[in-house]
Amino acid sequence: MKVYIETYGCSANLADTNIMKTLLLKAGYQLVDSIHEAGAVILNTCIVRSESERKMVQKLIELEKLRRKLKFKLIVTGCMAKARPALIAKIAPEASMIAPQLIEDIVDVISSPKRIVKLIGEKRTMLPKYMDGIKFTVPIAEGCLGNCSYCIVRIARGRLRSYPVEKIVEAVKCAVRDGAKEIRLTAQDTSVYGLDIGRTLPELVREVAEIPGDFMIRIGMMTPNGALKIIDELMEVYEHPKVYKFFHIPVQSGDDRILKLMRRKYTSRDFIELAETFRRKFPEGFIATDIIVGFPTEDEEAFQNTIELLKKVEPDKVHVSRYTPRPHTEAASMPQIPEHIKKKRSRIVASLSMKIGLKRNKPYIGRIERALITDPGRRNTVKARLENYRLVVLKAEENAIGKWVKVKIVNATPIQLIGELTT
């Protein structure tokens, strides 16, 4: 049977899709790029925000119409399957569903002539295999230890379950042997990796970094409270030449009252302390953060506290999103902020982040830097990463992907550097 897969959302979903691909290929299924060729279609979903859910609903409606015409088997997995099964059943009554924790049963589900729903239980033992390109995303844990009042992903992904260090190291060894140059360690919260199995994130990173080969490690998103508990060890592993100086710590708000309502387990001062510690050690290190504007009861004072925090820390990248109520979450029942105020605040944060991004990027103009070419770009360009993960766009042949090059930075925008190959 031919299988078509569409994947949305975070790097964990991308890794889950690779696991499903591995299992399907091993079972003799053929993966295709056209839905019109497929006997089965898998939709790997994301519903982290209401706009994400609306997109998934529209996609499901489209797929259900196509299913009736083309007669393929439809399987829905990802966070929507676990957190919103009734909604899926309403739109696509004949669709099978698999929770993220049970994707290793994909072959049983796809081969069954009946509709299968697998939403209860856990069966995560397998890590993805390296497929193609030069990037390898490896989930190091599933779930988290948080209890954020706004988060539906917690409902979908559950509590923390870490993969053994040995299994992760073996997966990375195989990927590097087969050509991977960028290893992405991912989880809902990488900072709490191993707390359920007596290990730590720094221990894991050290062992991965010691694998022979020419590759770089990108450590994924971590909560500020989790990172604070291991900050000294973290700074040590960041010194390793194979580790990108890239620190993704979502603060979400600069106001302590709002952080408490969000049930985030840190203060704005904790976030500032983390950022200052990282920048003292790595002055040109790249800090990424996330901001939610318009959280319930966020008044003008709370919003201004967020603005002041961003001005003080100057993150290199800020992902801003407008709060949207998610079903089955406490924040959905709190007094809501009008949409026009959310939009206005979102524009203000986005504008500030662009100014900060340009300020952080402009000093690179005229410098010669070492960069790893990672992806094809648009109009005969490629994308490359400096050792601090800063993005550089330059002209080069696609066969240069995976190679280290020297680039002269000739220009800068708020989100990237513009470079030229040099010797």
pLDDT digit string, tens, across residues 360-369:
999 999 999 9
> What pLDDT sits at residue 286?
98
Q: Cα–Cα distance between 16 and 128 in angstroms, integer?
A: 7
Q: Cα–Cα distance between 115 and 107 in angstroms, integer?
A: 13
Could you tell me what percent of the chain has a pLDDT over 70? 100
Mark out the alpha helices in 94-137 (DSSP H runs): 106-111
Q: Cα–Cα distance between 241 and 220 in angstroms, integer?
A: 17
Question: Would you put residue 132 in left (φ > 0), alpha (ψ -120 to 50) or beta?
Answer: beta
pLDDT digit string, tens, across residues 159-215:
899 999 999 999 999 999 999 999 999 999 999 999 999 999 999 999 999 999 999
pLDDT digit string, tens, across residues 259-280:
999 999 999 999 999 999 999 9
In the block, residue with structure tokens 């990172």: 227
Beta-bridge partner residues of 138: 185
User: How is residue 189 written in tokens?
Assistant: 């919260």
In Å, what is the CA distance from 305 to each residue of 69, 239, 291?
54, 32, 12
H/E stretch holding 356: helix 339-361
Report CA dihedral (93, 328, 153, 317) to the nearest 10 degrees. Answer: 120
- Listing DSSP states for 229-252 in one string gives HTHHHHHHHHTSTTB--EEE---B
Q: What are phi and psi of 128, to 5 degrees?
A: -65, 160
Establish how many alpha carbons lie within 13 A of residue 360's alpha carbon, considering only the half-sphere containing its beta carbon. Answer: 27
Find the mean pLDDT for residues 338-343. Answer: 97
In the block, residue with structure tokens 């109009």: 379
Using DSSP, state whether 336 is helix, strand or coil: coil
| Amino acid at the residue 231 | I
Q: What is the CATH superfamily name and number for domain 2-118?
A: Methylthiotransferase, N-terminal domain (3.40.50.12160)
- Listing DSSP states for 43-105 in one string gives EEE--SSHHHHHHHHHHHHHHHHHHHHH--EEEEEEHHHHH-HHHHHHH-TT-EEE-GGGGGG
> What pLDDT sits at residue 11?
84
User: How is residue 205 written in tokens?
Assistant: 């990173």
| Amino acid at the residue 332 | A
Instruction: Considering the chain, tell me which residue range(s) the CATH 3.40.50.12160 domain(s) occupy.
Output: 2-118
Query: Is the predicted pLDDT of residue 123 greater than 80, yes or no?
Result: no
Could you tell me what percent of the chain has a pLDDT over 90? 88
Count of other CB atoms within 10 angstroms of residue 117? 16
- Per the document, the length of the chain is 423
Among candidate residues 83, 183, 85, 101, the one with its CA nearest the CA of residue 142: 101
Sorting pLDDT into bands at 50, 70 and 90, what band is 1?
very high
Q: Cα–Cα distance between 81 and 86 in angstroms, integer?
A: 9
Q: Cα–Cα distance between 334 and 188 in angstroms, integer?
A: 25
Q: Which residues touch 100 (CB under 8 Å, ≥6 apart)?
A: 12, 16, 77, 78, 79, 81, 82, 142, 156, 157
Task: Let me know if 38 is exposed, middle or buried by CB neighbors in 10 A (0-12, 13-18, 19+).
Answer: buried
Sign, CA dihedral 18-156-217-286, equals positive
> What pLDDT sits at residue 379?
85
User: How is residue 182 written in tokens?
Assistant: 């960028």
Q: Which residues touch 179 (CB under 8 Å, ≥6 apart)?
A: 130, 134, 402
> What pLDDT sits at residue 217?
98
Beta-bridge partner residues of 3: 31, 40
Q: How large is the angle between the packed helices 201-209 and 165-177, nearest 10 degrees?
A: 30
Count of other CB atoms within 10 angstroms of residue 197? 14
CATH for 135-361? 3.80.30.20
How high is the mean pLDDT of the chain? 95
pLDDT digit string, tens, across residues 18-47:
999 999 999 999 999 999 999 999 999 999
Q: Which residues touch 114 (CB under 8 Å, ≥6 apart)?
A: none
Find the mean pLDDT for residues 228-239. Answer: 97
Q: What are phi and psi of 219, to 5 degrees?
A: -80, 130
Q: Cα–Cα distance between 277 and 128 in angstroms, integer?
A: 34
- Under CATH, which architecture does the 365-422 domain have? Beta Barrel (2.40)
Find the mean pLDDT for residues 121-128. Answer: 83
Sorting pLDDT into bands at 50, 70 and 90, what band is 330?
very high
Instruction: Considering the chain, tell me which residue range(s) the CATH 3.80.30.20 domain(s) occupy.
Output: 135-361
Q: Cα–Cα distance between 180 and 130 in angstroms, integer?
A: 7
When mean pLDDT is compared across 72-76, 198-202, 266-270, 377-381, the lowest value belongs to: 377-381
> What pLDDT sits at residue 338?
97
Could you tell me the pTM of the whole model? 0.92
